[in-house]
Structure 1
Amino acid sequence: MNRFDIDDDLVRTLVREQHADLAGLDLRPVDGGWDNQMWRLGDELAVRMPRTEQAPSLLRNEHRWMPELGPRLPLPVPVPVRVGEPSARFPRPWTITTWVPGEPADRTPVTRGGPAADSLAEFLRLLHREAPAEAPVKPHRGVPLAAVTSHFESSADAVGGLDGELRAVWDEAVAAPEWQGPPVWLHSDLHPANVVVADGTLAGVVDFGDLCAGDPATDLAAAWLLLPAGADLRLLHGYAHADEAMIRRARGWAVLRGMNLLAIGRAGDRGLPGGKVTWGPAGRATLDRVRASWRKAGLPR
């Protein structure tokens, strides 16, 4: 993945040249980000600068769809308000969006599981509407789990293999009946770094670059990725449309995403480029919660 860094002076210059009416606002960098580096711009805005090859397409995806989808969602989300055009100073498009206050959940996890489960269930019910034919499709998001088996195996290798329980969860997920409904809108990247927390519960959802259409079970993996142990059932019951097959598929997605977080966290522990030290604990916690859910008597198996 080709990355490069952008400094404060460049961002200030670009804002001044292309959006002069905003140039007087305070600019300060924000830690985090994967495909994009981010700066606060005043109290209500953020500048997102792409630093990977795929980042411009993700920003275009957000700019196309979030003004339409954002207003119907019950949690705060970033909505693009300005576009920065490629120039001699910076050869890629960039955006200015609304700022969503809160702390990323990979640094400040959700502690009030009940309220968070209720908020997330409502968010997903309202997001998961039938998507139009022109909605984006992602090869590793929202698809049947059998289509990502090679990705699963490479992820398992990256974390040193899986125990028998997690393998059983995955096998049950792959064997579950596939989604038969129409493709619905998905965030598709609901992991702890892409939500923010305040007062122990969800305060917003960010980073919609991977927004796409597909199987809602992809997003329901958030029951184990985002919520503390024991809150998964409250989310699944509150969502109301989660049958046994969907829950099995959702657990499978949670195993896959948990492994990805763990692998990226290990890279950060070793000081490797692209590693995120806060993601490792989030990945381990996800896998622990999946195991506990799978073991619990009375849950669909």
Structure 2
Amino acid sequence: MPEYRRILLDGAATQVRREGEELVSADGRVVGVEEAVHLPPVVPSKVVAVHLNHRSRVEEFMTSLPDAPTYFHKPTSSLNAHKGAVVRPERCKYLNYEGEVAIVIGRTARNVSPAEAGDYIAGYTIGNDYGLHDFRDTDAGSMLRVKGSDTLCPLGPGLVTDWDFHGKRLRTLVNGKVVQDGSTDEMEWDMHYLVADIARTITLYPGDVLLSGTPANSRPVQPGDVVEVEVEGLGKLTNHIVTGPAPIRDDCGAQPTESEEVISTTFGGDWEFRGIRAPIR
């Protein structure tokens, strides 16, 4: 399956094609996969993410799916890349990973059917839909700061075309330990459905990204942790967690909180009604 990446090559953003362990530009320059400085593999005008889609995640939260998917938006300023640092701001505790498959649009799509949607998809990459749940009490409706803060949307390492999304394994690892293990077959709504649903009212442009949902067991990570998301046929997206150099300002805006809602979402399920006290790290 062809794989394309965007890297910094001699100081310029350059699209390259992966050939074994080398990345080759259109003009013939070559760099090793491990030596390359990666950029997000696409330049989207928007990133749209579905809330709940994987059945294991629904069961974990002891809830049920709505009749149709619901979504939120991650600003493009949240984009990050393979091997990039994900920043947990000072005074925040609850930064969660969410390994996902990312759909990349290849043609302008508007008012297309699920049966037609595949023709508008350029390919797929891996996403990690990080959530800063310290702001969940403030932004639970929009998810703006929860999911849209800087660095919280790593994509990569490459865009893979001609990838069949059926029956593919998805795993997230933290410091080498598997923490999420799911499959695209547990998604309630598949990739074509998601594209067609959004395109009913929102025009999707080439490069736009749709994040398709995460399996169970999203949990918080700490500065120093290395987080990897593996998707069968798409490779491995790797990032590391760092502490932001400056704390969240306290002279304006809502402040980070540790409510039952924050704890419940961060550690999975409804802790209050289970009568379990969530561990605090």
Question: Structure 1 length normalisation: TM-score?
Answer: 0.25
- Whichever structure has more strand as a proportion of its residues is 2
Question: Structure 2 length normalisation: TM-score?
Answer: 0.26
- Whichever structure has more helix as a proportion of its residues is 1
